[in-house]
Chain A
């Protein structure tokens, strides 16, 4: 187990280094001169040169990358061009909103998806099976940003039940969380439905049934335990995709989280802020995947030896 953990952690660290390298390279090829962004288009050449020297933009690339890493080690993500504030502070401010939205949606979507998926898994080939497959297929094709707008129209404009957007009370959370959760719910329903269904059709389940094991035991001990491995894998992969959904949903609902921050930073060509947000999101996904990998080793001890 220890060897397995060490290997996974090492892999996460190399991936993290790769992530920083990609961000560093991307940021360097952005066609905006940081000095001009800071000093404005009318600045004279001396000022620009001074700012460049100050930022270390004249140093060799390797030196700049090394310095970037050294700063990251001190949680220093630089300063925002737009506001002059520390990027780390700006991000820290936005984390709670995004965490609240993402966690609520994922928890609700995953829980109900798991429940409906398990409940319908045994009905392979029936009308319920067709309904689940077709329903999720169609539902998953609806873009979240569009669904969000439809919900706003229905519940905010027509019924005047909920706020149009913004942040603050639980009433603000309902529509954006529903928008994200519906997609997650449909996805997990379908995924759990097919995976548990597939497991239920296998020989060892038939053996358990023949032995006279109670249905609850067959479901939760035999079938779910085996279907858990792909479910957990997909949960890990889903974190990165959830971040993409968050960016769009936050934009639709004017939710002051990391996603909207990133979009605003891009439009303002605020390079340190863009780089910081993307890196932060990348680290989040990495940590989530590491947790999944470690869970994996516990759920399925065979994995440790692989």
Chain B
């Protein structure tokens, strides 16, 4: 679903509350990721109970139970937060950088540059992103760096479109026209006059892109094409657990809830910002 097409949450007061909830969620998640080694007594890769007992249910020394290999689920989940946030964050930064550059150039220079760049946007939008990612994941051996780069290299189109649209309307504003008339250089107009104007819109998209990238990363890991083992990742935890779903359903529940919470957090921030920024602008 093209989720960037969804708009804000309605009233401003409501947006402020939901935005705050998003900040709290993401903050908690970031805290878990940063403090992971201190939040659990176990190494995420260590086999902490003899596996022939089978996976242990939640409770006691293992708040979320242990998995089929006898590893502590909470330890893997907490360390998985690091993987997810890192992959999502880097992917978002890559998309942000490419999308900003393309959008600013297309909107400002117009003409052939615009036509060419927008053709490229159409092209990337046409390719089913997960299939393209699967192909790219086979070309570049998956690692903690290539996965976010590849996800980022595909997810920039919404940035480019939005930024281009904003630039087109900003160009007509008096202060930009004045700068043009004064003979300011292209670089100066883009960086000093246009960039600050397109940033609010781009920040909203950045939050939404972050949640998008986390979902894509989880999907790739689920297919076995994500960050390779032994790095703990939430998507991989789901696919590892699904064979044992009848005997150990908690193994599937925990990573799924983690993914959903991360995505909800960033979406709340993003959709909340749409209304907060939008109302300030008008």
Interface residues of chain A, those whose CB is within 8 Å of chain B, are 11, 14-15, 18-19, 22, 26, 29-31, 124-125, 129-130, 133, 137-138, 140-143, 145-147, 149-150, 152-153, 157, 183-184, 187, 190-191, 194, 198, 230, 233-234, 237-238, 240-241, 243-244, 247-248, 251-252, 262-263, 266-267, 269, 274, 277-278, 281-282, 285-286, 289
| Cα–Cα, bound, A140→B235 (Å) | 17
Point out the residues of chain A lying under 8 angstroms from B1, CB to CB.
140, 183-184, 187, 238, 241
| Cα–Cα, bound, A31→B256 (Å) | 33
Judge whether A238 and B2 touch: CB under 8 Å.
yes
> Nearest Cβ in chain A — how far from B147, in angstroms?
15
Judge whether B139 and A149 touch: CB under 8 Å.
no
Interface residues of chain B, those whose CB is within 8 Å of chain A, are 1-3, 5-7, 9-11, 14, 119-120, 122-123, 125-132, 134-139, 141, 211, 215, 218-219, 222-225, 235, 238, 242, 245-246, 249, 252-253, 255-256, 259-261, 263-264, 267-268, 271
Judge whether B238 and A149 touch: CB under 8 Å.
yes
Known contacts A153-B246, A190-B6; A266 and B134 CB within 8 A of each other:
yes
Point out the residues of chain B lying under 8 angstroms from A26, CB to CB.
135-136, 139
Partner of B256, one of A130, A146, A194, A274: A146
Interface of B is mostly: helix
Point out the residues of chain A lying under 8 angstroms from B126, CB to CB.
15, 19, 240, 282, 285-286, 289
Known contacts A125-B10, A240-B125, A243-B130; A141 and B138 CB within 8 A of each other:
no
Point out the residues of chain A lying under 8 angstroms from B222, CB to CB.
143, 145, 248, 251
Point out the residues of chain B lying under 8 angstroms from A30, CB to CB.
135, 138-139
> Nearest Cβ in chain B — how far from A199, in angstroms?
13
| Cα–Cα, bound, A286→B128 (Å) | 10
> Nearest Cβ in chain A — how far from B119, in angstroms?
7
A sample of 13 inter-chain contacts (CB < 8 A) reads: A15-B123, A29-B139, A30-B135, A31-B141, A145-B238, A146-B259, A149-B256, A153-B249, A237-B5, A247-B130, A267-B224, A282-B126, A286-B126
Judge whether A15 and B119 touch: CB under 8 Å.
yes
Judge whether B131 and A278 touch: CB under 8 Å.
yes
Known contacts A137-B264, A244-B130; A143 and B3 CB within 8 A of each other:
no
Judge whether B128 and A240 touch: CB under 8 Å.
yes
In the complex, which residue of chain A has the Cβ closest to the Cβ of B138? A266
Judge whether B131 and A145 touch: CB under 8 Å.
no
For the A-B complex, the count of residue pairs with Cβ-Cβ distances under 8 Å equals 169
Judge whether B11 and A262 touch: CB under 8 Å.
no
Point out the residues of chain A lying under 8 angstroms from B267, CB to CB.
137, 140-141
Point out the residues of chain B lying under 8 angstroms from A22, CB to CB.
123, 127
> Nearest Cβ in chain B — how far from A21, in angstroms?
9
Point out the residues of chain A lying under 8 angstroms from B245, CB to CB.
149, 152-153, 157
In the complex, which residue of chain A has the Cβ closest to the Cβ of B256? A146
Judge whether B128 and A19 touch: CB under 8 Å.
no
Point out the residues of chain B lying under 8 angstroms from A149, CB to CB.
238, 242, 245, 252, 256
Point out the residues of chain A lying under 8 angstroms from B225, CB to CB.
266
> Nearest Cβ in chain B — how far from A261, in angstroms?
11
Point out the residues of chain B lying under 8 angstroms from A241, CB to CB.
1-2, 128-129
| Cα–Cα, bound, A111→B163 (Å) | 33
Known contacts A14-B119, A26-B136, A30-B139; A137 and B128 CB within 8 A of each other:
no
| Cα–Cα, bound, A283→B194 (Å) | 36
Point out the residues of chain A lying under 8 angstroms from B137, CB to CB.
266
Judge whether A278 and B132 touch: CB under 8 Å.
yes
Point out the residues of chain B lying under 8 angstroms from A277, CB to CB.
131
Nearest 6 interchain pairs by C-beta: A244-B130, A243-B128, A146-B256, A141-B263, A187-B1, A237-B2
Point out the residues of chain B lying under 8 angstroms from A281, CB to CB.
127-128, 131
Known contacts A146-B256, A146-B259; A191 and B246 CB within 8 A of each other:
no
Point out the residues of chain A lying under 8 angstroms from B224, CB to CB.
267
| Cα–Cα, bound, A278→B122 (Å) | 16
| Cα–Cα, bound, A22→B154 (Å) | 13
Judge whether B219 and A248 touch: CB under 8 Å.
yes
Point out the residues of chain B lying under 8 angstroms from A237, CB to CB.
2, 5, 125
Point out the residues of chain B lying under 8 angstroms from A147, CB to CB.
256
> Nearest Cβ in chain A — how far from B135, in angstroms?
5
In the complex, which residue of chain A has the Cβ closest to the Cβ of B262? A141
Judge whether B138 and A274 touch: CB under 8 Å.
yes
In the complex, which residue of chain B has the Cβ closest to the Cβ of A288? B126
Judge whether A262 and B134 touch: CB under 8 Å.
yes
Point out the residues of chain A lying under 8 angstroms from B125, CB to CB.
237, 240
Given contacts A18-B119, A30-B135, A238-B1, 8 further A-B contacts (CB under 8 A): A26-B135, A29-B139, A140-B267, A142-B259, A143-B218, A143-B259, A145-B219, A157-B245
Known contacts A137-B267, A143-B218; A150 and B14 CB within 8 A of each other:
no
